[in-house]
Amino acid sequence: MSPDKRTAVELADALAAGETTSVEITRAHLDRIAAVDGDIHAFLHVDAEGALRDAAASDARRVAGESRGVLDGVPIAVKDVMATRGLPTTCGSRILEGWIPPYDATVVAHLRRAGLPILGKTNMDEFAMGSSTEHSAYGPTHNPWDLDRIPGGSGGGSAAAVAAYEAPLAIGTDTGGSIRQPGAVTGTVGVKPTYGGVSRYGLVALANSLDQPGPVTRTVVDAALLHEVIGGHDPLDSTSIDQPVPALVEAARRGADGDLTGVRIGVVRELGGEGYQGGVLTRFEESVELMTKAGAEVVEVSCPHFVHALATYYLILPAEASSNLARFDAMRYGLRVTPDGDPSAEDVMRATREAGFGDEVKRRIMLGTYALSSGYYDAYYGQAQKVRTLVSRDFDAAFQDADVLVSPTAPTTAFKIGEKVDDPLAMYLNDLATIPANLSGVPGISVPSGLADEDGLPAGVQILAPAMADDRVYRVGAALETLLVREWGGRLLDQAPALPAVGDAETPEGVR
């Protein structure tokens, strides 16, 4: 059976026109999941019954003229880092196996309120630590472009689900790149909103000062629609911004005419060159050229402290993570391992954490505990916080000269499963270009830039804007998408070659 390749906008239009029902759409995506997820493994949990029940309720609302908005009835997949009432939430970890949250994350509550049926929970690196989804305790997700390759991470499940047409929309979280990098290597669109723009309440925290939920979609305007549903102030999140969400859909629709007259685009000198695959850079340069032809004024900007961003991140993130993960004490949630004999509470905790956490999680707990230890606190954590300020000042200066900043999203196309899993440093380098935005809280989008290597694998362009100017990433993102689709004569993903589990379309002339 051929997949439903319609975007969220197309599905919403069909629903509004009465051409289809939410039950029909939801069932088609559940069938697709049943057909291909054995190969892709994007989902940790599929809730067919719940999704179809919600779809039926949506259809009933529509008949009664009580539809709750544009996306009412359009199904969605949710990264397993989000608490979902009544649905398992493992965060890719054994330690949360069997935990069923008694409440919904605010993002999930927004989805339910807007009427989106939840198809299931998507695979991820354990506690969102990783760039390949190989650190999931439940086995890796496979990239729909090539099943031997990684779909990026930590949100590889959400990106793969959207790329493989298992879901028209998905939710991800981005702490260092986990929405944008999977977007780049699966040919999908991913947005990290301004920090505080989307509530973190009910998200299993990795690093509170960096985490941000956001949309995973196939088009920029779909992302804008979803962002407007999940964004906005939440009193349950103390870092939530008490300001209205900018008009994102309007910005995306405006950008879709492909005109960038008067927009100043800054190419970040430090995010390119050494360490980036040749084809990734070539596709990036072509994108910049297209934007120039469309009227943008392109300048080069320098952000000298970005070269320290990765090191800074790997002090701050483990510090916050080690403290967050202390709550997994075998007493409150999920797994409990009781050693033989007459174990003390500490023995139970030790045995549970030993069995329940994977290697990468343990590595970061040790790193973080060390960085926060009394003798080293100033030298590591304190120093990292200072460099974080310098990175933010680089952004401030660059945004004086440019409305948005651009770079390749990830340094390479999707690598082979197994290639980097035992080499933490090689894994960390995937987020070279995405981490500065998390350190400073600014919003960013990844848009497919084309096929970037001899294997025909996709790459992405990242567009960053100042905090609370999320509308700019949508405007410029939509413009670039329009310009590229015109070049290719169609969407990259829909016409991709070598999508064994996705479809058999040939690559048309012009797609590279």
Taking the complex as a whole, how short is the minimal distance between the CB of residue 34 and ligand GLN, in angstroms?
29
In angstroms, the CA 244 to CA 249 distance is 14
Find the distance separating the first CA and the last CA of the chain, reported in whole Å: 28
In the set 131, 136, 154, 449, the catalytic residue is 154
Rounded to 5 degrees, φ, ψ at 301 are -120, 155
Please list, in sequence order, all residues whose beta carbon lies within 8 angstroms of the beta carbon of residue 189, skipping any fewer than 6 positions away. 183, 215, 216, 217, 218, 219, 220, 222, 223, 445, 446, 447, 448, 477, 481
67 is a catalytic site residue: no
Taking the complex as a whole, how short is the minimal distance between the CB of residue 260 and ligand GLN, in angstroms?
29
In angstroms, the CA 357 to CA 350 distance is 11
Of 427 and 511, which CB lies nearer to ligand GLN in the complex structure? 427
Alpha carbons within 13 A on the beta-carbon side of 8 = 32
Taking the complex as a whole, how short is the minimal distance between the CB of residue 351 and ligand GLN, in angstroms?
26
Taking the complex as a whole, how short is the minimal distance between the CB of residue 432 and ligand GLN, in angstroms?
10
Binding residues for ligand GLN (CB under 6 A): 128-131, 154, 174-178, 206, 317, 431
Taking the complex as a whole, how short is the minimal distance between the CB of residue 135 and ligand GLN, in angstroms?
8
Q: What is the torsional sign of CA 232, 235, 237, 239? A: positive
| Cβ atoms of 105 and 82 closer than 8 Å | yes
Largest Cα–Cα separation, the chain: 74
Taking the complex as a whole, how short is the minimal distance between the CB of residue 58 and ligand GLN, in angstroms?
31
Cβ atoms within 10 Å, residue 50:
16
Burial 134-146 (b: 16+ CB within 10 A, else e): bbbbbebbbbbbb
Q: In Å, what is the CA distance from 446 to each residue of 174, 321, 470, 496?
A: 12, 25, 13, 18
Of 177 and 197, which CB lies nearer to ligand GLN in the complex structure? 177
Rounded to 5 degrees, φ, ψ at 46 are -110, 130
136 is a catalytic site residue: no
In the set 58, 131, 158, 178, the catalytic residue is 178
Of 176 and 266, which CB lies nearer to ligand GLN in the complex structure? 176
- The three-state secondary structure class of 461 is strand
| Cβ atoms of 142 and 40 closer than 8 Å | yes
Of 218 and 420, which CB lies nearer to ligand GLN in the complex structure? 420
Does the bond joining 323 to the residue before it have cis omega, within 30 degrees of 0? no
Of 428 and 488, which CB lies nearer to ligand GLN in the complex structure? 428
Q: What's the residue count for the chain?
A: 512
Of 175 and 322, which CB lies nearer to ligand GLN in the complex structure? 175
Taking the complex as a whole, how short is the minimal distance between the CB of residue 128 and ligand GLN, in angstroms?
4
In the set 79, 121, 192, 420, the catalytic residue is 79
In angstroms, the CA 283 to CA 21 distance is 39
Q: In Å, what is the CA distance from 501 to each residue of 144, 303, 491?
A: 6, 41, 18
Taking the complex as a whole, how short is the minimal distance between the CB of residue 19 and ligand GLN, in angstroms?
38
Of 28 and 310, which CB lies nearer to ligand GLN in the complex structure? 310
What does DSSP say about strands 76-79 and 170-173: parallel, antiparallel, or unpaired?
parallel
Taking the complex as a whole, how short is the minimal distance between the CB of residue 446 and ligand GLN, in angstroms?
12
Of 129 and 417, which CB lies nearer to ligand GLN in the complex structure? 129
192 is a catalytic site residue: no
Taking the complex as a whole, how short is the minimal distance between the CB of residue 220 and ligand GLN, in angstroms?
21
Of 73 and 153, which CB lies nearer to ligand GLN in the complex structure? 153
Rounded to 5 degrees, φ, ψ at 505 are -60, 145
Q: Which amino acid is at 460?
A: G
| Cβ atoms of 315 and 377 closer than 8 Å | no
Please list, in sequence order, all residues whose beta carbon lies within 8 angstroms of the beta carbon of residue 172, skipping any fewer than 6 positions away. 79, 155, 158, 159, 178, 179, 182, 190, 213, 214, 215, 216
- The three-state secondary structure class of 386 is helix
Of 176 and 436, which CB lies nearer to ligand GLN in the complex structure? 176
The residues annotated with a catalytic role in the active site are 79, 154, 178
